[in-house]
Amino acid sequence: MTDTARTQASKARAMKRLRKRRAADGRFRYYGLSAILTALGALAVLIFTIGSQALSAATYHVVNYDITLDPAVIAPEGAGRPEDISRNVEGFYGLVRDNLIATFPEAAKDRASRREVADFVTRLAVLPTAQMVAEQPELVGTRITLTAPLNDDLDLYLKGQGVRERKLGVGAIAAIKGEVEGGYRVTGAGAFDAVVAALAVAAADLPADAAEPGVLLTAGPSTGRLTEISAGSGHLELLTGNIKDFARLQSKARLIVALESERTISDQQIAWTLALKDMGRIERVPRKTLLTNSDSTYPELAGGLAAIVGSLLTMLVTALVAMPIGIFAAVYLEEFAPKNRVTEFIEVNINNLAAVPSIVFGLLGAALYINFLGMPRSAPLVGGLVLALMTFPVVIIASRAALKAVPPSVRSGALAVGASQMQTVFHHVVPLAAPGILTGAILGMARALGESAPLLLIGMVAFVGDVPRSPTDESTVMPVLIFSWSNNAERAWEPLTSAMIIVLLAFLLLMNGLVVFLRRKYERRW
Amino acid sequence: MDTSQGNPMMDDSITPQPTKDGGPRIDCRNIKVFYGQAEAIHDVSMSFPDRAVTALIGPSGCGKSTFLRCLNRMNDTIENCRVEGKILMDGEDINDADVDPVLLRSRVGMVFQKPNPFPKSIYDNIAYGPRIHGLANGREDLDAIVEKSLRRAGLWEEVKDRLSAPGTGLSGGQQQRLCIARAIAVQPEVILMDEPCSALDPIATARIEELIDELRNRYCIVIVTHSMQQAARVSQRTAFFHLGNLVEMGDTGQIFTNPREKRTEDYITGRFG
Ligand SMILES: Nc1ncnc2c1ncn2[C@@H]1O[C@H](COP(=O)(O)OP(=O)(O)OP(=O)(O)O)[C@@H](O)[C@H]1O
Ligand SMILES: [Mg+2]
């Protein structure tokens, strides 16, 4: 073989190796990129699904009631003190119900209707107004506008998330004639063409023996139930309002497939809601109560304040216990402890502790703090201590990593000018490791903030309607509240749960932001 | 701090006291150093005169740094490192149980191979030692110590306008002089230097060598170096180590011109190393 041939062969081999190496580089970059994209995609889906749900709970519908604060009802003889007024839920609620009945006289006709109209607003929704009047007794006897949230099912209906309906156009109604069995015959050439077509489509999708979908006809504030529908006529049973509106105003039809008996809201309630909306008495407003109210059995009144305060108190206890223990243990182990079997054993066990499932800490906490030491159940004190057990191994591990990262030259420099070991550690090493230590501590706390399982075991899952005032009060925390809400049956809890998750995520984001801030501010290069 | 022993740290002047009898400042007898089971220094005896520079030379891994660290008990801070033998400083064994290594290190300063200023301001780098040892009465006193130390290390003119700037922001050579200033600020009697110029360019090296020459008038200096020229330039005494043994020790001139041992000659002429 000649020299040139040999060099050419080795050149070809080198080219081949180069190609192989480049291909490997490219593959690796591709794997990395797809891993990142997968992670980002999962995050985006999570944020999007929870966020879009939460967005619907960020606002809700409230109804305005113009009521006169009749002294005989609000502050009757012998019950006129402010604390009596603030407790007089029944009186205020009565005024609201009377206002509704005045607006819709047909609601007074029988017990069932009274109950239906009473469902519009929950009793407890008048409490803020009662408290306001108690603080300003001069309001008694005056006319005020009481604003109360709309029933959660009707709220969902107005948001288009509750009962499914199709809105259909209706032609001009030419004639309305009273009929013998009650109700009216409404006629107009081709007025209900669209409704008939939609009914035909709906019928094709339904089983043969299913009942026909209901159709509501609305004109302005008036609504009736439409039956016996043909292209040019139908039988209208007036639910609320004035029959003349149908001749005067443009009508609209709503086709509701779900049977009335299978819905949480009746045709009558829908009719009244549409009427209130038409009168401009229903507004969609931001749901501030999510952050200012405590838990309630009624979704339209429920809020997370008690849980937020409970979480903060719990975190306070956790921080006060886990951070000093974790940091001092880390400093001791890293800087002072002799490197021997015992230290190694302790180290291994701390690492194991960090890997113990959190629910085990809950069991331990229940046994130790509640059964043995007799601390109160459901209290942030116990919750904080349980979470501290769970957090401090994490703090130790993170702090040790931060201490290890301090270059040994700093230590020997300090020792060489005659600093004692303690001075070396506390004047030089710990300040340099502080951002890392704090980062670890805050991330450990963030994990604790999102923890629910161990707290369930120490009874922090109880319904808590009052904001806890001290770490020994009965309390719950945000993740547990989310857990309980998600277990509730009513549909309205679903968006509310998402909204609460967003609040929790906001707190976590805040803590992570703090980490970034601390790092930026105090991290030093050397 | 025990003042009855007349610890020079308590003196107002930075100048250390001369040795009592003019004899060697440090006298090492039968030093053995073990890392775990491995013996890194085999039975070395040697002494270091006051107001002179002693150079330790030898191939890499022969135990120069290990031996140097015995002199301020920095080996104590290394896991499983054990020192045997007597090291007498002014007649007192520094390994005695009642000698506090922290106090000892304030009397025996050390400068490391890689400049390691604290990640603090230039001022605080110097002031840290005097502060923890209570050498200054008030702010003005401390300012004076800082200025004096920086002047003596030949750094004052370059940094006097930015004393609050971080010490880690200086150039490598400036950092090393800062470390020397930091070492002399606590008024030591002995200064140990472990390859102080190995990370520096020739100009910065020359600057430090000048500095060592000046410091020689006041301190007992021990320097580890890999540069034969440097050893020849700055030291009065030279000790050659090989594989943990002290092969030869003598006046620098004699070692470089007329070594007694074959191994020494081979090393300084570059035949192995
Ligand atoms: N911390 C340690 N643990 C175990 N062995 C060590 C340790 N430090 C040094 N040694 C060993 O002791 C011997 C002497 O090391 P030393 O650092 O004193 O050498 P040196 O002469 O300073 O070398 P160099 O010129 O490369 O700095 C070497 O064999 C080394 O491997
Ligand atoms: Mg060395």
Question: Which residues neighbour A382 within 8 Å (Cβ) at sequence distance 6 or greater?
Answer: A365, A369, A370, A375, A376, A458
Band of pLDDT at residue A2, cut at 50, 70 and 90: low
- The 10s digit of each residue's pLDDT in A298-323 is 888 888 899 999 999 999 999 999 99
Structure-block tokens of residue B272:
């192995």
Determine the distance separating the centroid of ligand 1 and the alpha carbon of B126, expressed in angstroms. 29
Structure-block tokens of residue B105:
């290190």
Asked whether the beta carbons of residue A417 and residue B119 sit closer than 8 angstroms, the reply is no
User: What Rg, from alpha-carbon coordinates, does chain A have?
Assistant: 34
Q: Which of B79, B119, B129 sits opposite A418 (nearest CB)?
A: B129
Q: How far is CA A470 from the centre of its chain?
A: 25
Chain B residues at the A interface, defined by Cβ less than 8 Å, are 72, 74, 77, 79, 102-103, 105-106, 109-110, 112, 114, 116-119, 128-129, 132-133, 168, 179, 182-183, 185-186
Instruction: Specify the pLDDT at position B16.
Output: 42
CA atoms of A327 and A346, how far apart (whole Å): 15
Structure-block tokens of residue B10:
């308590």
Band of pLDDT at residue B27, cut at 50, 70 and 90: very high
Q: A286 CB near a chain B CB, below 8 Å?
A: no
- Ligand 1 contacts CB of residue B57 (under 6 A): no
CA atoms of A510 and A512, how far apart (whole Å): 5
pLDDT at B8 over 60: no
b/e for B29-50, b at 16 or more Cβ within 10 A?
eebbbeeeeeebbeebebebbb
Instruction: Specify the pLDDT at position A491.
Output: 82
CA atoms of B40 and B33, how far apart (whole Å): 6
Q: Going by CA atoms, what residue is nearest to atom 9 of ligand 1?
A: B66
Chain A nearest-CA residue for B71? A416
At B205, the amino acid letter reads: T
Q: How many Cβ atoms from other residues are within 10 Å of residue A423's Cβ?
A: 16
The protein residues having their C-beta less than 5 angstroms from ligand 2 (an ion) are B 65
Instruction: Specify the pLDDT at position B91.
Output: 84
pLDDT at A396 over 90: yes
Asked whether the beta carbons of residue A524 and residue B119 sit closer than 8 angstroms, the reply is yes
Band of pLDDT at residue B3, cut at 50, 70 and 90: very low
Instruction: Specify the pLDDT at position A524.
Output: 62
pLDDT at B106 over 70: yes
DSSP at A192:
T
* C-alpha to C-alpha distances, A448 to A319, A379, A499, nearest whole angstrom: 10, 16, 20
Q: Which of A339, A420, A432 sits opposite B79 (nearest CB)?
A: A339
Paired with A186 in beta bridges are: A176, A234
Instruction: Specify the pLDDT at position A323.
Output: 92
Short-list A94, A89, A82, A93, CA closest to A136: A82
Full-model pTM: 0.78
Short-list B116, B113, B181, B149, CA closest to A432: B116
CA atoms of B255 and A491, how far apart (whole Å): 95
CA atoms of A504 and A414, how far apart (whole Å): 44
Instruction: Specify the pLDDT at position A340.
Output: 85
Band of pLDDT at residue A134, cut at 50, 70 and 90: confident
Short-list A482, A476, A484, A505, CA closest to A383: A476
Q: Which of B77, B168, B183 sits opposite A417 (nearest CB)?
A: B183
Q: What is the least distance, in Å, from the CA of B165 to any CA of chain A?
A: 13
Share of chain B above pLDDT 70, in %: 91
Q: Are A188 and A179 contacting, i.e. CB atoms less than 8 angstroms apart? A: no
CA atoms of A269 and A264, how far apart (whole Å): 10
User: Chain A residues with CB inside 8 Å of B128's CB?
Assistant: 414, 417, 419, 427
Short-list A318, A255, A258, CA closest to A451: A318
- The 10s digit of each residue's pLDDT in A183-223 is 888 888 888 888 888 888 888 887 777 777 888 989 889 99
Choose the most confident range, by mean pLDDT, from A33-42, A129-138, A505-514: A33-42
ipTM of this predicted structure: 0.86
Share of chain A above pLDDT 70, in %: 99
User: Chain B residues with CB inside 8 Å of A416's CB?
Assistant: 72, 74, 105, 109-110, 112, 183
Q: A340 CB near a chain B CB, below 8 Å?
A: no
CA atoms of B47 and B237, how far apart (whole Å): 10
